[in-house]
Amino acid sequence: MSEVNRYNLEKLVGQFQIVAEFVDGYAWVKGHINDTYIIKCRQGGSPIRYILQRINHHVFQQPAVVMQNVKETTQHLRKKIAAENSADLTRRTMTLVPTRGGASYYMDNAGNYWRAYVFIERVKSSHTAEKPAQAEQVGRAFGLFQKRLADLPTERIQETIPQFHNGVLRFDTLDKAISEDQQGRVAATQSEIDFCRENRGIVQIFADAQAEGELPQRITHNDTKIDNVLLDEDSGEVMSIVDLDTVMPGLVHYDFGDMVRTLTSPADEDERDLENVTMRMDFFEALAKGYLSEANEFLNQAEKDYLAVSGKVITFQLGVRFLTDHLNGDTYFRVHREGQNLDRARVQFKLVERMIENEAAMKSFIAALG
């Protein structure tokens, strides 16, 4: 636990409105950004658990903004879910525990930001989608998440990572990395650079549509990986969406596109054999079916029309970011071997090619869903 020991955990827990006896706490290894601890307590003779997290303020440089977003989002979700007469309210959305002073976070003497949630019990998650039914389930979960937040005014949610999905800016950053060639890697990546330049128009797709007023800003999750969907450990029913730090205003296509990227290809993100990078249309169809079973209710026609290209846009943007980081000396994405970011970029670009090959089929399938 480094400097966070049992004594410190008990003191930290005491800063929150947790009406229970502290029993124990331990570090939880899941997650790569924030420091997470499981807190065991006893309340009226019964065990109860909480999550205590130290927010990584190097990644989220405005923790207070993050927590205001989390508070607004969870409160709105609780109202919507309660109105649906759903049971197990504390298992169907994250429950933020306020501090003793009523704030959404506690700042310690060292300037660390802490928050507490009720631990969601009797749930499980997956790391990969092995069957189309899983893709459908994830699509439905995030479609429902967006639908429940569709009537929350976007001005009440602030941007936590500025310009996160600004593809034009990402490409400008790539151009800068190429011109500076700090690590002398440009010559060996000319084919990848050529691919980016030939497909530069991809980053303009959403920018142009927004400029024309076709695509409205909505509240989106922005980290739609499968393990952020919690399922009931017995029935397999979707219970909750977690990891709300990146919730901010954006296009629904950011969420849908990233689901297409992560769910339709069976290849690892740094796969070296590009023959293994494929796009599974049956997974896409299941994903689209699940997503639109909820999202059809609030999307406009233009939003539906752009769903089929969203995977291409998001995947290309990520590939550009991987290539940029490779050229700059691997300063942003963590690498475990030389050339890993370049391999990651190549996988994204190959997947973009596969998506382009299937674009007409994707458009037809979504159109048929109405």
> What is the per-residue pLDDT across 21-30, written as a single tens digit (0 to 9) for each?
999 999 987 6
The owner of tokens 């233009």 is 302
Q: Put residue 161 in one of left, alpha, beta given phi > 0 → left and psi -120 to 50 → alpha.
A: beta
Do residues 163 and 87 lie in contact, with contact meaning Cβ atoms separated by under 8 Å? Answer: no
Sign for the pseudo-dihedral over CA of 60, 61, 67, 70: negative
Q: What is the pLDDT of residue 32?
A: 64
The owner of tokens 């990986």 is 225
- pLDDT band at residue 1 using 50, 70 and 90 as cut-offs: very low
- The pLDDT of residue 339 is above 80: yes
Largest CA distance in the chain: 67
- Average pLDDT of span 262-289: 97
Q: What is the pLDDT of residue 31?
A: 64
User: Is the CATH number 3.30.200.20 carried by domain 6-121?
Assistant: yes
- Average pLDDT of span 116-130: 95
Strand partners, 26: 38
- Beta strands (DSSP E) in the chain are 21-28, 35-43, 46-55, 96-97, 106-107, 113-118, 123-124, 218-220, 229-232, 238-241, 248-250
Q: How confident is the prediction for the chain on average, in pLDDT?
A: 95
How far apart CA 218 and CA 152 sit, in angstroms, is: 9
- pLDDT band at residue 3 using 50, 70 and 90 as cut-offs: low
Contacts of 248 (CB under 8 A, 6+ apart): 69, 157, 158, 159, 160, 161, 164, 219, 220, 222
- pLDDT band at residue 5 using 50, 70 and 90 as cut-offs: confident
Sign for the pseudo-dihedral over CA of 238, 239, 244, 248: positive
Both tokens of 287, joined, read 């994903």
CA dihedral (190, 194, 197, 203) in degrees, to 10, reads -90
Q: What type of residue is 9?
A: L
How far apart CA 75 and CA 72 sit, in angstroms, is: 5
- The pLDDT of residue 334 is above 90: no
Domain ranges of the chain: 6-121, 132-369
DSSP string for 215-227: S--EEE-S---GG
Do residues 206 and 251 lie in contact, with contact meaning Cβ atoms separated by under 8 Å? Answer: yes
Q: 121: how many CB neighbours lie within 10 A of its CB?
A: 13
- pLDDT band at residue 192 using 50, 70 and 90 as cut-offs: very high
**What crossing angle do the helices spanning 340-357 and 252-264 adopt, rounded to 10°?**
100
Q: How much of the chain is helix, strand and coil, in % rounded to 5?
A: 50, 15, 35
- Average pLDDT of span 257-279: 97
Q: CA separation (Å) from 192 to 181, 196, 312, 338, 340?
A: 14, 6, 16, 17, 14
Q: How far is CA 286 from its chain centroid?
A: 20
How far apart CA 318 and CA 349 sit, in angstroms, is: 9
**What crossing angle do the helices spanning 307-327 and 190-198 adopt, rounded to 10°?**
150
* pLDDT (tens digit per residue) in 193-245: 999 999 999 999 999 999 999 999 999 999 999 999 999 999 999 999 999 99
Q: What is the pLDDT of residue 6?
A: 65
Contacts of 61 (CB under 8 A, 6+ apart): none
- The pLDDT of residue 289 is above 70: yes
- The pLDDT of residue 19 is above 70: yes
* pLDDT (tens digit per residue) in 54-112: 999 988 999 999 999 999 999 999 999 999 977 788 999 999 999 999 999 999 999 99
Taking the whole predicted model, whether its pTM rises above 0.85 is answered as: yes
Q: What is the pLDDT of residue 30?
A: 67
The domain 132-369 belongs to what CATH superfamily? Aminoglycoside phosphotransferase (APH), C-terminal lobe (3.90.1200.10)
How far apart CA 152 and CA 148 sit, in angstroms, is: 8
3-state secondary structure of 75: helix
- The pLDDT of residue 7 is above 70: no
| CA Rg value for the chain | 21
